[in-house]
Structure 1
Amino acid sequence: MITLAAGTTNWEVLKPILAESVVQTLQMVLTTLLIGGFLGLVLGVILYGTRPGNLFENAIVYRILDFIINIIRPIPFIIFLAAMQPVTIKVVGTSIGTVAAIFPMCVMCTMATSRLVEQNLVTVDPGIIEAARSMGASKLTIVWTVLIPEALAPLILAYAFLFIGVLDMSAMAGYIGGGGLGNFAIAYGYQKFDQGVTWTAVAIMIVLVQVVQGVANAIAKRLLKR
């Protein structure tokens, strides 16, 4: 690790480290959203579908999944990182680094996404589902051509909200050497008593959130006008 005098900011040294940290953060966040977001969507549809009175009603499956999600979701991510360390080592081969951080992030993201998806699907008018069933549409067809499209706008906003949570997880991953802006802010800002470095990392995260939220709002607004 490059050593800088406390309270000094040598941006000639820190700029390439900052650029690498941004790339690592985007790598963690985008990979997690891609994997955890997709698995969470599937799990959320299963949760919704197996609820009493729904398309794939199955009380046993619903209660098991609901129980598992309710156990994992409330765990603070920094504690979840530590608890998942043995599993992460078996799956990834190490508990340190960006790749090692992505695995527990994907697990937590899957749990959070599934609940968000379920909550948004529940708001879909049951009458639309019944109309599709009366026309002879299969259950899977209803899910992908009726249910999800009807909830698409709120789902997009939910995924934008999820992006913020995953970005927060990537920052905490810095504590296990996961790299990214969190590690950059801790190693070169907090530990060096350099507020300029810390706030630079914060500013970049704010910009990322604003961009994603703005795009999501625009897409959702257009969908709602249709």
Structure 2
Amino acid sequence: MTWSEMQPLLAQACWDTLYMVGWSTLIAVVGGLPLGVLLVLTDRGGLLQNVLASKVIGQIVNVARSLPFIILMVALMGFTRTITGTTIGREAAIVPLAVGAIPFFARLVETAVREVDGGLVEAVQSMGGNTWTIVRKVLVPESLPSLIAGTTTTIVALIGYSAMAGTVGAGGLGDIAVRYGYQRFETELMWITVAVLAVAISLIQFAGDHAARALHRRAGTSGPAPRLRLLKASTATSKTV
């Protein structure tokens, strides 16, 4: 196969992979962020302590994370067909990708939020801040560098999952590698696909690490005292409003 024949295939495959990973990442962040925060809030000693709810949510997350992605795709075929009207193609692949990524990202969010300095939480509580204020002004902003790193990890994992989804007709780079590299013995195209995936993952990891380090340095240079003054001002404003 010549390069002129490979180029349109690779271009379409890259777009399909970007489409699947982009939408599934967005859904994972929207669903996983509140779920991860809720795991912290309802845990023992949390602001909304409810041990039973925490254990139930945690168990659901653990079960969802324990399923291999290929099994998850098969198990969700009925649900996927209900949502998208089909079980084949990039739109159909987004459903299991998002469902598999939500609990994965939720655990990363939980770890990130637990690292927040408890003194800042207590300070906002002493100012009269409620749970929503603490989540919005302390937990999420203070854990943002770790959340960026967790999002990067999730994107990298989703790229791998999307390649696996390509084996069942979802399209993307995984589909190219299987259909042409494996079934038609186009080894050159397969290795080009591997190279494209490696470069994409390296660039995403570099960008995510750079953003996380930049946010961490900014938080470190500001120090706790200025942050407390800012939190006090914002809390007072919220109470006034």
Q: TM-score range by the shorter chain?
A: over 0.9
2-structure distance, mates of 1:190, 1:10: 17
1:139 deviates by 0.9
> Which residue in the other structure is 1:144 paired with?
136
Residue by residue over 1:6-55, the C-alpha shift from the partner in whole angstroms, topping out at 9 and shown as x without a partner, is xxx23222211110010000000000001112110111111111111111
TM-superposed CA distance for 1:195, in Å, is: 2.0
2:93 aligned to which of 101, 104, 110: 101
State how far apart, in whole Å, the 1-side matches of 2:6 and 2:212 are.
Answer: 38
User: Which residue does the alignment assign to 1:210?
Assistant: 202
Task: Give the equivalent residue in structure 2 for 1:194.
Answer: 186
SS state at 2:66 partner: coil
Matches within 5 A, 1:169-180: 169-180=161-172
Aligned equivalents of 1:223 and 1:70: distance in 2?
Answer: 30
1:123 corresponding residue in structure 2: 115
Once the two structures are overlaid, the 10-residue window that deviates more, 18-27 or 210-219, is 210-219
TM-score by length of 1: 0.93
Task: Count matched residues.
Answer: 218
Does residue 81 (structure 1) correspond to residue 73 (structure 2)? The answer is yes
Residue 164 of structure 1 contacts residue 209 of structure 1 at CA under 8 Å; is this kept in 2?
yes
Q: CA deviation at 1:196?
A: 1.3
Which of 158, 177, 183 pairs up with 2:150? 158
Distance 1:122 1:15 in 2: 46
Q: State the match for 1:5 in structure 2.
A: none
The whole-number CA distance in structure 1 between the counterparts of 2:201 and 2:30 is: 20
Please tell me whether residue 23 in structure 1 is matched to residue 15 in structure 2. yes
* Identical columns (%): 39
* 1:90 maps onto 2:44 in alignment: no
How far does residue 62 in structure 1 lie from its aligned partner after superposition?
A: 1.1
State whether residues 171 and 183 of structure 1, in contact with CA within 8 Å, keep that contact through their aligned partners in structure 2.
Answer: yes
User: For residues 207 and 38 of structure 1, what CA distance do their matches in structure 2 show?
Assistant: 27
- 1:39 paired with 2:31, answer yes
User: Which has the larger share of helix?
Assistant: 2
Unaligned runs of 5+ in 1: 1-8
Q: Any gaps of 5 or more consecutive residues in structure 2?
A: 219-241
Write the deviation string for residues 134-189 of structure 1: whole angstroms up to 9, x where unpaired: 11112111111111111111111111111110001100111221000000111111
Tell me, yes or no, if the aligned pair for 1:171 and 1:180 is still in contact at 8 Å: yes
Which of the residues 168, 181, 195 maps onto 2:173?
181
Structure 1 vs Structure 2 CA RMSD: 1.1
CA contact (8 A) 1:95 1:176 kept: no
- Among 157, 167, 176, which residue is 2:159 paired with? 167
Query: Could you tell which deviates more after superposition, 21-30 or 41-50?
Result: 41-50
> CA-to-partner distance for each residue in 1:98-148, whole Å, 9 max, x for gaps?
111001111111111111101111111212211111111121111111111
Residues 84 and 104, structure 1, Cα contact 8 Å, conserved in 2? yes
Using the size of structure 2 for normalisation, the TM-score is 0.87
